[in-house]
Amino acid sequence: MIGVDLQIAARNLTRHTRRNLFLGGALAAVTALLVLLSSLTGGVERAMMVSATTLLTGHVNVGGFFKITSGSAAPIVSEYPRALDTVRALVPEIDYVAVRGRGWAKAVSESSSMDLVLGGVEVAQERGFAKVIRPVEGRLEDLAQPDTVLLFQGQADRLKVKVGDVVTLSAPTTRGVNNTADVRVAVIARNVGLLSAFSAFIQGDTLRRLYGLAPTATGALHLYLKDPADAPAVASRLRAALAEAGWRVMEPESQPYWIKLMQKVPSEDWTGQKLDVTTWEDEMGQFKQFILGLRALTALLVFVLMVVVVIGILNTLAIAIRERTREIGTLRAIGMQRRKVLWLFVLETALLGLGGAAAGAAIASGIALLLNLAGIGVPEGMQLFLMQERLSFLLQPGAILADVLFLAGVTVVAALLPARRAARLRPVTAMHHIG
């Protein structure tokens, strides 16, 4: 029976080609928009997860601030080996830990200068680097040598340096004086969105020397978990455990460390060391908001367009039912139950919905693949948010299928009311309908 039902539905659709093509086309356009925007959001989110959690933050960070006076603050964890022991004992979910120095400095070359956010790294610990950082000159391993720096292409171009050249870093120490270090450019890497415009990496001990820090001090422990979804639970557990182990631990607050460093911490009345346990989402708060905003915008656009499509479906079905009233009457007379009439109209709309949505998804996927291949550049102002220099769409079959099913589902729901009206037509009225 289902075969005949499908045939009736499909043939009725093809009987009014122009009308149904128009409606299916509108649905395809909405689906295409949804798939494109979702895959763009997916691409941004992926870039954020991969790039930002490698360059800026771990899945969970044990950072902190050291205050010599209540009005000053430095992003330092003194005695980090002790904190690291506690962390390792308490977090079996850890995949690996990177000890990361935090600072900022003015980089001066022979012909230019610029401000840089510095990460002090032990490159052997930074397992994620190889996935994100693509050297165009030099080798990542060379960053293990003292007095070396990794610059991104944009920075190297601006400073007009290449591998082997020397750059002078000038940074304010916790004692209130500026210190300098001459570092050799060991690696120049491909840009990774706007993050790479201001982030650079130097060897960990070199950063300590620049800031006059003890070997047991660092900026933060970046914890990379086997499953990043565990981050909130791990952070919460660590706060309690570190406090119990005698550390002073800051209250959780979803802000990146540099905002706390600039605004909150210097205004607080305390001195000495406090630890601050954050997740990657805390550190990337603005980016997450951007993603949410993008998703909300997508939802709003799709909602508005779907209202138009639903009105189209209601109109089309009203016309179809009017045209086929006699047929409905006949079928009811020869013994078709009401629910079967309803089913036939719903099936017809479902076919139209699935066809339109699938076509839209296919078109959008094709466009996204072509745009990925074309590698269209993202305007500089957008790079910070999109975390990518080139437009990148993440096509996830599961998500696309969900979009298609969702939109086809909306069309089916929209069809229920007119289909019910058709099903409730009295056979005698329907059979003698003229028109």
- The two tokens of residue 193 are 């969105």
Inter-axis angle of helices 397-423 and 285-323, nearest 10: 30
Does 11 sit near another protein (CB under 8 A)?
A: yes
Judged by beta carbon, residue 92 or residue 335, the one nearer another protein is 335
Binding mask 13-32 for another protein (x = CB under 8 A): --x-----------------
Does 315 sit near another protein (CB under 8 A)?
A: no
173: number of Cβ within 10 Å = 14
- The span of 99-107, 187-195, 262-270, 322-330 binding another protein (CB under 8 A) equals 322-330
Does 7 sit near another protein (CB under 8 A)?
A: yes
Judged by beta carbon, residue 20 or residue 109, the one nearer another protein is 20
Which residue from 46, 184, 237, 340 is in contact with another protein, where contact means CB under 8 A? 340
Hey, which residues between 401 and 430 contact another protein (CB under 8 A)?
A: 426-428
24: number of Cβ within 10 Å = 25
For 251, phi then psi, to 5°, come to -65, 145
* Sign of the dihedral defined by the CA atoms of residues 174, 263, 225, 384, in that order: negative
DSSP class of residue 69 equals S
- DSSP notation for 367-396: HHHHHHHHTPBPPHHHHHHH--SB------
Does 323 sit near another protein (CB under 8 A)?
A: no
The span from the CA of 61 to the CA of 98, in Å, is: 10
Does residue 235 contact residue 223 with C-beta atoms inside 8 Å?
no
Which residue from 335, 397, 398, 435 is in contact with another protein, where contact means CB under 8 A? 335
Does residue 63 contact residue 275 with C-beta atoms inside 8 Å?
yes
Binding mask 95-114 for another protein (x = CB under 8 A): --------------------
Q: Which of 171, 162, 71, 174 is nearest to 120 (CA)?
A: 171
How many residues sit close enough to another protein to count as binding (CB under 8 A)?
A: 24
The span from the CA of 155 to the CA of 116, in Å, is: 9
For residue 6, the minimal CB distance to another protein (Å) is 11
- The span of 2-10, 211-219, 230-238, 310-318 binding another protein (CB under 8 A) equals 2-10
DSSP class of residue 216 equals T
Does 180 sit near another protein (CB under 8 A)?
A: no
For residue 334, the minimal CB distance to another protein (Å) is 5
Judged by beta carbon, residue 205 or residue 327, the one nearer another protein is 327
For residue 384, the minimal CB distance to another protein (Å) is 57
Which residue from 178, 180, 286, 337 is in contact with another protein, where contact means CB under 8 A? 337
Judged by beta carbon, residue 117 or residue 431, the one nearer another protein is 431
Does 331 sit near another protein (CB under 8 A)?
A: yes
- The span of 7-15, 58-66, 83-91, 137-145 binding another protein (CB under 8 A) equals 7-15
Which residue from 163, 336, 394, 416 is in contact with another protein, where contact means CB under 8 A? 336
Does 301 sit near another protein (CB under 8 A)?
A: no
Does residue 414 contact residue 306 with C-beta atoms inside 8 Å?
no
Does 4 sit near another protein (CB under 8 A)?
A: yes
Q: Which of 201, 196, 118 is nearest to 157 (CA)?
A: 196
Does 434 sit near another protein (CB under 8 A)?
A: no
Does 326 sit near another protein (CB under 8 A)?
A: yes
- Please return the burial class of 269, using the count of CB atoms within 10 Å of its CB with bins 0-12, 13-18 and 19+: exposed
For residue 323, the minimal CB distance to another protein (Å) is 11
The span from the CA of 252 to the CA of 250, in Å, is: 6
Which residue from 300, 311, 333, 370 is in contact with another protein, where contact means CB under 8 A? 333
Q: Which neighbouring-strand residues pair with 104?
A: 117
- The span of 73-81, 132-140, 330-338, 383-391 binding another protein (CB under 8 A) equals 330-338
Does residue 23 contact residue 305 with C-beta atoms inside 8 Å?
no
The span from the CA of 303 to the CA of 324, in Å, is: 31
Does 330 sit near another protein (CB under 8 A)?
A: yes
Judged by beta carbon, residue 101 or residue 329, the one nearer another protein is 329
Which residue from 69, 267, 334, 373 is in contact with another protein, where contact means CB under 8 A? 334
The span from the CA of 393 to the CA of 388, in Å, is: 11
- The two tokens of residue 42 are 């997916």
Residue type at position 164? G
Does 332 sit near another protein (CB under 8 A)?
A: yes
Does 327 sit near another protein (CB under 8 A)?
A: yes
Binding site for another protein (CB under 8 A): 1, 4, 7-8, 11-12, 15, 326-327, 329-338, 340, 426-428, 431
